Structure 1
Amino acid sequence: MQIDQQTPEWYRARYNQLRDQALLKESSARPASAPIEMTESSILHRETIPGGWYWSTLLPRGQALRLINTSGNNGVSVGIWNADDHSERYNAGDTIKLQWTTCLTTGRVLFSDMGRVLASIINDSCGFSDTLVGGSTPQSNARNFGNAGLRNTRNNLRLIAGKHDMAQHDVTSCISFFSHISTQADGSFRWIEGDVQPGAYVDLRAEMNLLVAVSNCPHPLAPDKTFAPAPIDAVRWQAPAIKPDDLCRTFCEEARRGFDADFSHLRQFRVIL
């Protein structure tokens, strides 16, 4: 069967079949799996990121980054690049489409714009994230706090990019963890009532050598009335060897293909706008 030589009706039927399978899996209970624990001996580096500020780190393949929302801030934004080739970076659209969900939590992965898995979410005690709205900007700070001069995620990520010899166009979408965002039936976004719990954490395991940027600024739709983000902690640690039944590698078909994909030979054809 040549998949590129089918009728429009065949493609629609295949799309509906894949969508229904994904929705069924998403509504089902996660497969039972033991938590991947960070031990004291596995910690390689610990950093405190002040409220409103940013931090970046090189995260080699096999290491993990734990973000600890020490004080219960409403949002922490993360940008990711391939450390060996910055033209490959996190792609929000592919991450959502390939996994048929906007709910990125334990067991899900983050795809690059080359169709490969950049990182796996191996632990997530919060369960809420946002990969659609994006990080804060001067405009969102002016709207929310009446001050466009406050620190914001867009400018934080641009500063990090500049320090790693990247340009403004290298800063694309980010994912915001600890963000209680819900997508409504009409396509709008709403902050779900309920506080982010202090001490909530998320662990990202690098599936290739990564450059990870962290911006400790409130989500643009957060209910905060004043700009007062507290410090968070970032811990780089050595994740254990990956087991054959690793949840992130077996949770869905699309993720399995992403781990196997290698499109590096196509980079010569890419046009960076």
Structure 2
Amino acid sequence: MSATQVVESRLDPEAAVVDEICPAGEPWVKLVMQGQIFRIVDLGGNQAVDTLFYNASRVTERYSATNTIRRQQMLYLTTGSMLYSNCGNVMLTIVADTCGRHDTLGGACAAESNTVRYGLDKFPMHSCRDNFLHALAHDPVCEHLGMGKRDLPSNINFFMNVPVGEEGGLEFVDGLSAPGKYVEMKAEMDVVVLISNCPQLNNPCNAYNPTPIRLLVWDDPNV
């Protein structure tokens, strides 16, 4: 199943309790409470936003690509998709999405993968894995929870387009997003959000030009 469900949000950015910009190529961490709505905005278009989620009360429970795909029989995320944890619990539900398709398989770029894909001279280039590790080591939220390298599972790539070929291979191609497209999620539990706003300069997914993203959080509109 790969159907897209483009649905716009009714939430007013002026009412958001968090409204921040994450620069191109940088990490971002935030605690989002159960019932709150979390939005990622692709400001420049086709920016890959590598994202992980953790149960804020027990970080050994975290987003699981395997459970998310298996439970819904769907490789790509869109409106209505539920993001499952490694314990089988729903962590977040996508409630609005103007892009319509997000990758679950491509993973995060790293020094090793950059070298394999693009050449030995790319090894020192900044990567999403670097961002994740830097945030785990230095962000106060992650430090308080005692998080480290062991806490890095496979991530979601919001706005990224990674088709799966007939023989099961992955293709990294131009994205489907555009400036101002967004994805919005309702937290079904208290979650720690860990983002790497991808610094990748070798992949056409972002036209070889990383751009900033906007992050917004609203309190539960039903309270």
What's the TM-score bracket when you normalise by the shorter of the two chains? 0.7 to 0.9
Q: Which moved more, 1:223-232 or 1:178-187?
A: 223-232
More helix by share: 1
What CA RMSD, in Å, does the superposition of the two structures yield over aligned residues?
A: 2.6
Shift of 1:65: 1.4
TM-score (norm 1): 0.71
Extract unaligned runs of 5+ from structure 2: none
Which residue does 2:31 correspond to in 1? 58
Q: Is the 8 A contact 2:94 2:185 kept in 1?
A: yes
Residue aligning to 2:149: 168
CA contact (8 A) 1:79 1:157 kept: no
Corresponding residue number in structure 2 for 1:13: none
**Deviations, residues 71-123 of structure 1 (Å, cap 9, x unaligned):** 11431110100001111000000100000010210000100011000011111
Counterpart code for 2:111: P
Gaps of 5+ in 1: 1-22, 243-273
1:121-136 aligned at under 5 Å gives the runs 121-136=94-109
> Contact 2:52–2:193 at 8 Å: present in 1 too?
yes
2:166 corresponds to: 185
- 1:225 Cα offset (Å): 9.1
The answer as to 2:223 corresponding to 1:238 is no
Q: 1:39 deviation in Å?
A: 1.3
Contact 1:73 1:218 in 2 (8 A): no
Query: How many aligned residue pairs are there?
Result: 215
- In structure 2, the residue matched to 1:48 is 21
Structure-2-length-normalised TM-score:
0.86
Corresponding residue of 1:105: 78
Alpha-carbon distance, 1:184 to partner = 1.4
| Residue aligning to 1:215 | 196
Distance in 1 (CA, whole Å) between partners of 2:131 and 2:195 is: 8
Deviation at 1:216, TM superposition (A): 0.6
Cα drift, residue 182 of structure 1? 1.0
CA–CA distance in 2 between the matches of 1:209 and 1:78? 16
Tell me the equivalent position of 1:75: 48
1:111–1:117 CA contact under 8 A, matched in 2:
yes
Q: CA deviation at 1:181?
A: 1.3
Q: Indicate conservation of the 8 Å contact 1:178/1:196, yes or no.
A: yes
Identity over aligned residues, as a percent? 31
Q: Structure 1 residues 57 and 113 mapped into 2: Cα distance closer, same or farther (>3 Å)?
A: same
Deviation at 1:227, TM superposition (A): 5.2
Q: Partner residue of 2:179?
A: 198
**Higher RCO, 1 vs 2 (CA within 8 Å, ≥6 residues apart):** 2
